[in-house]
Amino acid sequence: DAKTTQPTSMDCAEGRAANLPCNHSTISGNEYVYWYRQIHSQGPQYIIHGLKNNETNEMASLIITEDRKSSTLILPHATLRDTAVYYCIEVRASYDKVIFGPGTSLSVIP
């Protein structure tokens, strides 16, 4: 079973920042936090990952709490194309199988 918990759904106004929380209270010291998203009827797409430090790339920012028990994915300026299901996952290694939870269904509203 997935070890992370996320809100079932969220809405965000277009152009505003979307903040998606994730709880991973049992994460191990050697496990990374990964975020993927799945747009309807497509394969999941990698967004970002982190271990301890906050991370930023061209798609999003990842804020990880100091105790590593939770994190927040930030889409700084959400667009309609960001409407998708977002999955927060703990991953130990590159060849580790990825177990998906239900994720958060984000709807970006015009």
Q: For strand 45-50 and strand 104-109, is the pairing parallel, antiparallel, or unpaired? A: unpaired
Sheet with 84-91, strands from edge to edge, namely: 9-13, 104-109, 84-91, 32-38, 45-50
Work out how close the CB of 98 gets to another protein at its nearest, in angstroms, rounded to a whole number: 6
Which amino acid is it at 16? R
Q: Indicate the residue among 14 and 38 with the shorter CB distance to another protein.
A: 38
Query: Residue 12's beta-bridge partner residues?
Result: 108
At closest approach, how far in Å is the CB of 97 from another protein?
Answer: 6
Quick one: 29 or 95, whose CB is closer to another protein? 95
Comparing CB distances to another protein, the nearer of 32 and 74 is 32
**Residues at the contact surface with another protein, assessed by CB under 8 A:** 32, 34, 36, 38, 41-46, 49, 85, 87, 91, 93-95, 97-103
CB of 15 to another protein, least distance (A): 27
C-alpha to C-alpha distance for 105 and 18, rounded to whole angstroms: 12
